[in-house]
Chains A and B, each alone.
Chain A
């Protein structure tokens, strides 16, 4: 059974304090691992897709990496506007996305 576990559930950072969010997964035939950002009262917004172990992608202060068992979302020198819930999802042979429960990030000035 495809499964995604995200940790920590919540993370509080001071502005400029870098950290990482973890996404552990089990999936049959990984077709893609996705990171989304979700702001309160809104739908998830696409950030990255990773396809194979060793792949990395960057966008502003965010960098996503992928191994055969987990993905990390690294946040470098975060700002208050990076506060959001970050969701991880995997797509396997079933073609459907399986989501984790998310990490709620709060960045304080």
Chain B
């Protein structure tokens, strides 16, 4: 893999508790993304970061917050977990500075399976 790890791989939590998922990269890529993947919906963007302390919302950001204090780490926090946030969460990285013709899109981590009970 291209130096991207997610932790934990699996987590079960109770409704109403805060949860933080971690994404760590060793590629020094500028851009990092959090997606969730649900049956029938495909991959949907939650939040993304275009640099340290620079983040923005995706299409399904309600109930989630992110932080990026270092280039290599991007944290996703569920402030108060709900059952609708049961999903598989993927982190991805990219370097849009790659020259035209060398754009490989995103490199994904292995995912975190989160269950909210």
Residue positions of A touching B, CB distance < 8 A: 31-32, 34, 36, 41-46, 49, 51, 87, 89, 91, 95-97, 99-102
Contacts and interface: CB of A to CB of B under 8 A. Distances in A.
Chain B interface SS verdict (over half):
loop
B91 to A, nearest CB: 8
A97 B108 CA distance: 12
B42 A43 contact: no
Contacts of B110: 41-43
A97 B103 contact: no
Interface residues of B, number: 22
28 contacts: A31-B103, A32-B105, A34-B105, A36-B105, A41-B110, A42-B111, A43-B92, A43-B110, A43-B111, A44-B90, A44-B106, A46-B106, A49-B103, A49-B104, A49-B105, A51-B101, A87-B42, A89-B43, A89-B105, A91-B103, A91-B105, A96-B45, A96-B48, A99-B43, A101-B40, A101-B41, A101-B42, A102-B42
Interface of B: 33, 40-45, 48, 58, 90, 92, 96, 101, 103-111
A46 to B, nearest CB: 5
Contacts of A89: 43, 105
Nearest to B56: A96
A90 to B, nearest CB: 10
Nearest to B113: A41
Given A41-B110, A46-B105, A97-B106, 4 more contacts: A34-B105, A43-B111, A87-B42, A99-B43
A10 to B, nearest CB: 12
B23 to A, nearest CB: 11
B104 A46 contact: yes
Nearest to B43: A99
Nearest to B6: A43
B43 A95 contact: no
